[in-house]
Chains A and B, each alone.
Chain A
């Protein structure tokens, strides 16, 4: 993925979430703003046949994987034209035929599911791999230990990506997790690991690509910790607990500004070019909203379809 494409992808996520958040009917949402580089960097390392799984914080991962923003918006607003007919909604976005196996809104709940999908990929023997993005909150759960152990034992083609935004709702990472670096959790299992700045999209992409190549070649799993930021509160239903001063520091670490500045410094982008990309993202989001608004809600009878 070329540098401009990664910037475009991150801009789309940011604008998409801003537009969604402005909607009175947005419902309960978890946003990826501040962590765009994690999903975009990881997806830049994936191929079409690979699968991505995520936590319930899934707007970034879904859009970064290339799922049509129209479909994502429709699903999040509960419309029948969403990939799940509006039934999955926030936390359960999925489009497996396009490599987004899906989000799952149980913290740490997608880790061993991802390992199962990786087992399937391994048994298929076609060089496909699986990536799973989860929050630092999941790093305290036993599921991570179990998944690392089996993935290492069976050399599963699995990239575990910890999107570490430093907070589990309001609890700071320091109060919840003992390891100095979360990537240290992989060490006892002999699983290669890296810890890096998750606001640097190129760094995420390069490291993810290295780990993905290793997984495809039969080298087994890897663990990538990306230290990101959370620009919104935990969810639209959760009050912000950080001070205004702290938030100013958080917002300073903007992956989009960082990427754009680097491209501008390298002469690959100018102010007009950036404005053009922003306008393009804005237009795609407006189109997605128009599509969702024009779409119907599901028939109430859908409550009983696809159950068994």
Chain B
């Protein structure tokens, strides 16, 4: 399986399972709560094997009750455990936002450090043919909640490393993955590693324009950069990896070098990730030409023609890059 020294090729879902398995083996306070996380192994098979290894007390199927699932996880976290709560669709995270935003994100502050809530809420964003209430990317909503960490890996290695770090973080973390990433595979270090929270990564070096993006859209950015390269346009791709806290320095340094910034996200542009990234980069480095690419301002239909029409693709990224380059 190993295609280069020291790594192993894993599917994104396998990388998540490995991270959770290692953390559960090393710390009995780590438990998993969610719908179909038990014998079923998770809706995307991302918890496969955990139930058999750790049993029903630590890998718990819950009723379809997101408010209670998140609340239970937060309460158990505040009482000393390190739960991972799985919310199958990010659209349904809304039902659990009270415990996450009003309690977990504020627990440490409001108790003067007496209580922390080290809970990981793992949730799956993104459109893949399932319609208006099963397709949304709402991570930008969470970026402005003080106390919340938001990570969004784009490949198997980061899925592994960031999940490991999330499960060791002493406060609440929202781990945002994407339906289209689960079947992708990538090289993951054989040795135990931890992904750095709050640190972006340059996925492709380039000279003419910076594309700042996260999650599944990193792959779309790569397609766009590949095609632009054929025309002699060199793009640098910055994978944000963590949305809160945001690594503005890495994006700003890249944009300062290239002089042009395109933000790319699958979610909405209004008050979106790109709006925040672009504004903070402009505050930091001044004159940088910017453009944003995101979904159309419309619900995402399950109709394949309409879904594709609403979502960003490589062609739209290419247009945006050409626009900022004049």
For the complex, count residues of B whose C-beta is within 8 A of A.
Answer: 38
Contacts of B171 in A (CB 8 A): 308
The answer to whether A112 and B75 have CB atoms under 8 Å apart is yes
B67, B76, B80: the one within 8 Å of A143 (CB): B67
Binding-face segment, B6-14, B96-104, B130-138: B96-104
Contacts of A106 in B (CB 8 A): 98, 102-103
Binding-face segment, A21-29, A60-68, A81-89, A256-264: A81-89
The answer to whether B67 and A83 have CB atoms under 8 Å apart is no
> Considering the complex, which residues of chain A in the window 193-227 have a beta carbon less than 8 Å from any beta carbon of chain B?
none
Contact with A along B77-108 (1 / 0, CB 8 A): 11111010000000000000011001100001
A39 nearest CB across to chain B (Å)? 20
The answer to whether A87 and B99 have CB atoms under 8 Å apart is no
The answer to whether B112 and A116 have CB atoms under 8 Å apart is no
Known: A87-B110, A94-B114, A308-B149. A116 touches B63 (CB 8 A): no
Contacts of A143 in B (CB 8 A): 67-68, 71
Contacts of A308 in B (CB 8 A): 108, 146-147, 149, 171, 245
Q: Give the distance in Å from the alpha carbon of A308 to the alpha carbon of B65 in the complex.
A: 27
Known: A109-B102, A115-B71, A120-B81. A102 touches B76 (CB 8 A): no
Most buried by A among B31, B75, B77: B75
A-B contact pairs, 30 of them (CB 8 A): A85-B113, A88-B111, A88-B112, A94-B111, A94-B115, A95-B114, A101-B115, A104-B102, A106-B102, A109-B99, A112-B68, A112-B75, A113-B75, A116-B72, A116-B73, A117-B76, A119-B76, A119-B79, A119-B81, A121-B79, A123-B76, A123-B81, A143-B68, A147-B68, A149-B65, A306-B108, A307-B109, A308-B149, A308-B171, A308-B245
B positions within 8 Å CB-CB of A = 31, 57, 60, 62-63, 65, 67-68, 70-81, 83, 98-99, 102-103, 108-115, 146-147, 149, 171, 245
The answer to whether A101 and B78 have CB atoms under 8 Å apart is yes
Contacts of B79 in A (CB 8 A): 51, 101, 116-117, 119-121
Contacts of A83 in B (CB 8 A): 111-112, 114
